[in-house]
Amino acid sequence: MKAFEKARAQWLDRDADGAVRNLKKAVQDYPAFADAWFQLGKLQEASDPQSAQDSFHKALAADPKFLLPYEQLAVMAAQKEQWQETLENTHHALELDPTGTPQIWYYDAFAKFELGKTDEAQASITKGLAIDPRHSVLNAEQLLAVILARKADYPGALSHLKNCLSYTPAGPQADLLKQQIAAIQRKTTVSK
């Protein structure tokens, strides 16, 4: 616990290397320290993703009911376009906490969408949006719009894209939304 507390202080002092050293000491002294494994994984993510993934798995081995590693593993799997693995991790997280988090629901929906499970993806993203009124997952509503467009619900897709544009800061993401809105508007004009 001393090494864990020291690592926390070092992290607050922006000494990431010292924090990693002390977290490694904490898990060496007590291999079942799930939170230390998780924090170590978080620090390793940017520089050593494979070690981070291993640390998250060790956190789960120490405590299979620890929710946070599942979320991190889902994100990492999605980044590698490993959709089935993404789905397995979101499934475990949602078994532990059926309410989920906006991020878990987003990655669950994204994986289902990529696996061709459009209706299930729509259900998941709808649940995520319902618990995320501040739009902490910026792409969630845009994903719903893509799902609706795929189902030829152009008015629904357009409505969600316009809503996305209302809270997206100016820049490349807003420009992409404008392009998507224009493309859907063209489709609705052609289909009339």
**What pLDDT score does 116 carry?**
97
Residue the block writes with tokens 């000494």: 15
Q: Is 61 left (phi over 0), alpha (psi -120 to 50) or beta?
A: alpha
Q: Which tokens hold the place of 92?
A: 């475990």
Residue 192's pLDDT band (cuts 50, 70, 90) = low
Cβ within 8 Å of residue 91, ≥6 positions away = 108
Asked whether residue 85 carries a pLDDT value surpassing 80, the answer given is yes
pLDDT tens digits for 93-135? 999 999 999 999 999 999 999 999 999 999 999 999 999 999 9
Into which CATH architecture does domain 1-64 fall? Alpha Horseshoe (1.25)
Residue 151's pLDDT band (cuts 50, 70, 90) = very high
**What pLDDT score does 131 carry?**
97
Q: Where are the domains of the chain?
A: 1-64
**What pTM was estimated for this model as a whole?**
0.88
pLDDT tens digits for 12-46? 778 788 888 878 988 999 999 999 999 999 999 98
